[in-house]
Amino acid sequence: MDTNKPIGEWKIGEGDYFISFALTKKPNLFRRIMANLFFGLKWINYTEGTGPKPSKGMKVSARVQGKPQRRFK
């Protein structure tokens, strides 16, 4: 097995709006449970032949209308 290939990823979020990062070493069960409880991260194992999927990128959900306020004097 090539040690430079990722074997799984931490993921937070669903659908098109998520953050993920891949690792080459699988964290132990205790760390996976604690990361899920405290931070909401989910560990996803890659099956044979699959790898990290590219993200869709960051999107702005809304624009703010109006003029910026002047600085305090």
pLDDT in tens, 20-42: 888 889 999 999 999 999 999 99
Three-class SS string for 3-62? CCCCCEEEEEEECCEEEEEEECCCCCHHHHHHHHHHHCCEEEECCCCCCCCCCCCCCCCC
pLDDT on residue 31: 95
Residue 13 has pLDDT above 90, yes or no: no
pLDDT in tens, 56-67: 555 555 666 777
The Cα 20–Cα 31 span in angstroms is 17
Q: Between 49 and 66, whose confidence is greater?
A: 66
Q: Which value, to the nearest 10 degrees, does the dihedral of the CA atoms of residues 48, 52, 54, 60 take? A: 130
What percent of the chain stands above pLDDT 90?
Answer: 26
DSSP letter assigned to residue 68: P
